């Protein structure tokens, strides 16, 4: 994953979805092409989870928007397994006991 996005990933994996959204937004503002689509997807997924757990509302609108963006990308992008992430977020929206994590692929040299 790009260095500029790792702080947001850490926050997301801690369940701090609003903070992850905010951390990714600065990069999103200047991103173009597939990188912009990718970060927009992450932001929308985080927003869906934030609304689910912080506001107690089951929301699918942000999730559905994220899926539309994700459909333009390959299954793996920037070291993230996007389809795995989308499935886990969908499960979490239905079951508040589920806490998805950003499924990062190992970096080169990691074991």
Q: Domain of 9: which CATH number?
A: 1.10.3450.10
Is residue 100 one of the residues assigned to a domain? no
Is residue 20 one of the residues assigned to a domain? yes
Is residue 105 one of the residues assigned to a domain? no
Q: Which residues pair with 80 in a beta bridge?
A: 77, 104
Is residue 15 one of the residues assigned to a domain? yes
The mean predicted confidence, pLDDT, of the chain is: 87
Selected residue with higher pLDDT from 31 and 53 = 31
Residues 6+ apart with CB under 8 A from 76: 82, 105
- Calpha distance 44→71 (Å, rounded): 14
| Stated length of the chain | 111
Total domains in the chain come to 1
Residue 108 banded pLDDT, cuts 50, 70, 90: very low
Q: Name the residue with tokens 């508040």.
A: 96
Is residue 109 one of the residues assigned to a domain? no
Is residue 31 one of the residues assigned to a domain? yes
Residue 1 banded pLDDT, cuts 50, 70, 90: confident
The pTM for the full model equals 0.86
């Amino acid at each position: 994953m790009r260095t500029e996005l790792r702080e947001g990933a850490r926050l997301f994996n801690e369940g701090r979805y609003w903070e992850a959204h905010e951390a990714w937004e600065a990069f999103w503002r200047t991103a173009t092409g597939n990188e912009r689509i990718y970060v927009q997807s992450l932001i929308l997924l985080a927003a869906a989870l934030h609304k689910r757990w912080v506001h107690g509302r089951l929301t699918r609108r942000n999730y559905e928007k994220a899926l539309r963006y994700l459909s333009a990308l390959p299954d793996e992008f920037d070291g993230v397994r996007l389809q795995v992430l989308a499935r886990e977020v969908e499960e979490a929206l239905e079951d508040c006991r589920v806490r998805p994590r950003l499924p990062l692929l190992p970096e080169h040299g990691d074991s």
